[in-house]
Structure 1
Amino acid sequence: MCLGLPMTIVETDGISALCEFHGEQRRVSMLLLSNPPVGAKVLVSIDSAIRLLDDDEARLIGDAILGLGAALNGEDCNRFFADLIDRERQLPEHLRLD
C-alpha cells in the first residue's frame, strides 16, 4: 500500500517541482500533470505528483496523516478528525443493500 502526501509546490521547472508538506521538502516528478503553478496543492505518491488537490481536500488528507502520527505516538488525535467526530457512521455506497 502506498500513502499519498498532500504537498504544496514551492518551485517548479515543469518537469519536476520542489514540494513541501509540514516542513518537509522533496523534489517530485510533475510528468503526470499539466504544468501546475507554484502554490498548487498536489497529491504525491512515490515521488510523483499524481493529481491536483483543492485546498479543502489537501487539508483533510494532511490532517488524517498528522492524526495517524499522533495516534501512533499515544497522543490525542481527535482534533485532526474533527469532520468525523459527530458524524453518523455510513457504509460506502457500493456496500449498501438499498
Structure 2
Amino acid sequence: MCLGIPVQVLECGEHFARCQGRNGEVRVGLSLVGRQAVGTWLLTFLDAAHEVITAERAAAIDAALAALDAAQNGATDFTAFFADLDREPQLPEFLRTEQS
C-alpha cells in the first residue's frame, strides 16, 4: 500500500524541491507538478509530488495518518483526529434534493 504524505515546500529548484513533512525534510521530485512557490503544500508518493493541495487538506491528511499510527498502537478513540466525527453525516451536494 502506498500512502500520500503532505509536505510543504521550503526551497524549490527546477526539478526537485526541499520540503518539510511529518517525517522531517525530504527531497521531492516535481516532474508531475512543476516548479512550486515556497510554502506550497504537495501530496507526495515515494518522494514524488503528485498533486498541489491546500493547507487544510494537508492538515486533514496528516490527522488521518496520525489516526492510522494511533490505531496501529491500539487506540480506539479517534475523535481527536477527525473533528467532524461528532456531527450528523451529510449527503454530498449532488445527492441532495431540494426541499420546498
TM norm. shorter chain > 0.5: yes
Q: 1 CA distance for matches of 2:67 and 2:42?
A: 20
Give ranges in structure 1 of 5+ residues lacking alignment.
none
Conservation of the 8 A alpha-carbon contact between 1:68 and 1:77: no
Q: Is 2:56 aligned against 1:56?
A: yes
Select the structure that is richer in helix.
1
Conservation of the 8 A alpha-carbon contact between 1:33 and 1:51: yes
Conservation of the 8 A alpha-carbon contact between 1:67 and 1:78: no
Conservation of the 8 A alpha-carbon contact between 1:6 and 1:61: yes
TM-score by length of 1: 0.81
Q: CA deviation at 1:46?
A: 1.3
Counterpart mapping for 1:22-41 below 5 A = 22=22, 24-41=24-41
Partner of 2:12: 12
Give ranges in structure 2 of 5+ residues lacking alignment.
96-100
Q: CA deviation at 1:12?
A: 1.4
Q: Which has the larger radius of gyration?
A: 2
Percent sequence identity over aligned pairs: 32
Moved over 4 A (4+): none
